[in-house]
Structure 1
Amino acid sequence: MSERTRTGRPNRLAFAAAVVLALITAGPMLLMLSGALKPPDDVFDGKVLPTAPTLENFQEVLTGAPFGLYLWNSFLLAAGVTVAAVLFHSMAAFALARLRFRGRDGIFFTLFATILVSMPMIIVPLFIVVRELGLLDTYAGVALPMVFQAFALFLLRQFYLTMPAELEEAAKIDGCGPLGIYWRVALPLSRPILAALSIFIFLGAWNSFLWPLTTTSDSSRWVVQIGIASLQGEFAGEWNTILAASTLASLPTIALFLVFQRQIIESIKTSGLK
């Protein structure tokens, strides 16, 4: 068997597997878009006649409900949570990785152990705390409990542990303290992983449903996921309208991935090399 044959067959198998995985991933999205573009009476009614695509369902979503406001609320929530989480977690991870103080490892393992605690387990006491602080029906009340991410702290700490000590020593010679080392050395080095982490945090906040539903009763504070749930009651049985709303809600996340896919790949490569 020639060298070309031996190397070509695994490549073809890998390509075929990639195509199958891509179809499995894109299939639900294509079905959602297809349903959103169908006329109101041609979804899930057994008809097989072809129909021309229409934007009527999107117009119904945007005019029949304040869906633009829901999208804006989700953007504010996701952007605020992402900025705060990246800033505080990078600072905390740097301190837990590069600074030496008593109880450092105990603090880290205590914080990391919270990854085993899911939101439904703490939603009642968390709601009581937010209520006592007077933060119900506010952006702060929804966003603040979502800022802490145990996985983000773990990931950044592991990255900072691999930072060469020579860079830190050189920064100290130049007169930098811990804050200067963090800002001028650690933060620039961690840009790829911070970019990927920002995307994951943004997507998690964008798709949040349970906690915003618990803390907001004012419809002007609803996020897009609650808005889609409310449409299921307002447009009961009109699944094409629900699919149109879901398509609109997914567009920002798809655009975010397309814009920052290079940073995601770079972070994976960097983590692998470490």
Structure 2
Amino acid sequence: MNSDKRFSYARFAVIVLVAIVFFVPLWWMTVSAFRPTDAIFRYLSPLSPWSFFPRTWTLENITGIWYGNFGRAIFNSIFITLVTVVLGLAICSTAAFALAVIEFPFRKSVFMVMVISFLIPFDAIAVPLYGIMRMMNLQNTYTGLILPGIGNGLAVFLLRQFFLGIPKELREAAFVDGMGWFGIYWRVYLPLSGPAMLSAALILFVFQWQAYLWPLLIAPAPDYKVAAVAIAQFSAEYNPNFGLIFAASLVISVIPMIVLTVLQRYYSTSVASTGGKE
């Protein structure tokens, strides 16, 4: 066996191992959502086949999560995420277009600040941002939940890199035809940037869907709770209902899994088309 084949087999083994490491917790969460609550931890020590395959299947946990406010929380998450994606694409794409195409003073400096901004963990700015939103009376509002998610530095960076790859001759021809900057953006760049826009939409979607700290701070009222925060309602101080927790976690995990699985190839195409362009 030559060295290339050994390397290929070793790489394949590592890929399989990593996949198992990520898959096992997800599988255990899934089967736990369909176990009776008193059987969730029964077979963990020692491990047995029943640790990963329930002896008894039940839909009690799946149906039980809908008796409280979890349905409203799912609606809130879907609504907030959709609005964030739509508004975020409008803002991020226009910002990326300006940074990639329009010459203005300190353009590179603005871009550097933008890159640095998305490297800062959101948790580091959550508290001062909460103070600003509180002064603006945006507590317990959809506006307060949506605003921090619509300006995503990573989405701007990805779109800018894609726009830089579009031949400048196209916009020069558009100028000759009498188009302004908005016309060039709307009629030339956007139609060519479908994969990049889809990738930016996925970034905005994942960021908003998995948000926990910010919704917990800005919208504690029951009518504005999102799904990630609502799961905490199934955990009492001394008697958490793990069956409902696993069922709710499964529901909020399935939606992004489906979206990302369906659109993953477009995301890969877009990332591959963005390089270190300048």
TM over 0.5: yes
Structure 1, gaps ≥5 residues long: none
- Select 1:38's aligned residue among 32, 35, 38: 35
Deviation at 1:137, TM superposition (A): 0.4
- Select 2:188's aligned residue among 181, 185, 189: 185
**Bigger helix fraction:** 1
Cα distance per residue 1:193-244 (max 9 Å; x no partner): 2212211210110110111111112111000010011211289333122111
Give the residue type in structure 2 aligned to 1:29: L
Flag the 1:111–1:146 CA change in 2: closer, same or farther, 3 A.
same
Q: Are 2:161 and 2:276, in contact at CA under 8 Å, matched by a contact in 1?
A: no
- Select 2:147's aligned residue among 144, 148, 153: 144
Cα distance per residue 1:64-109 (max 9 Å; x no partner): x221111110111111111111111110111111111222222222
User: Residues of 2 paired with 1:247 and 1:273: CA distance?
Assistant: 38
User: Residues of 2 paired with 1:233 and 1:204: CA distance?
Assistant: 28
Equivalent position SS for 1:100: coil
Alignment of 1:42-57 (within 5 A): 42-46=39-43, 51-57=55-61
* Residue 18 (structure 2) aligns with: 21
Q: What is the total number of aligned residue pairs between the two structures?
A: 270
Deviation at 1:6, TM superposition (A): 7.3
Give the residue type in structure 2 aligned to 1:147: I
User: Residues of 1 paired with 2:5 and 2:122: CA distance?
Assistant: 48
User: Residues of 1 paired with 2:113 and 2:272: CA distance?
Assistant: 29
Give the residue type in structure 1 aligned to 2:211: S
* Residue 63 (structure 2) aligns with: 59
Give the residue type in structure 2 aligned to 1:136: Q
Alignment of 1:208-227 (within 5 A): 208-227=211-230
Give the residue type in structure 2 aligned to 1:118: P
Structure 2, gaps ≥5 residues long: none
* Residue 194 (structure 1) aligns with: 197
Percent identity between the aligned chains? 34
User: Residues of 1 paired with 2:241 and 2:252: CA distance?
Assistant: 17
TM-score (norm 2): 0.88
Equivalent position SS for 2:246: helix
Q: Are 2:162 and 2:273, in contact at CA under 8 Å, matched by a contact in 1?
A: no
Equivalent position SS for 1:105: helix
TM-score (norm 1): 0.89
Alignment of 1:247-266 (within 5 A): 247-266=250-269
User: Residues of 2 paired with 1:46 and 1:17: CA distance?
Assistant: 28
- Select 1:245's aligned residue among 245, 248, 256: 248
User: Residues of 2 paired with 1:7 and 1:170: CA distance?
Assistant: 50
- Select 1:91's aligned residue among 78, 89, 94: 94
Alignment of 1:72-221 (within 5 A): 72-221=75-224
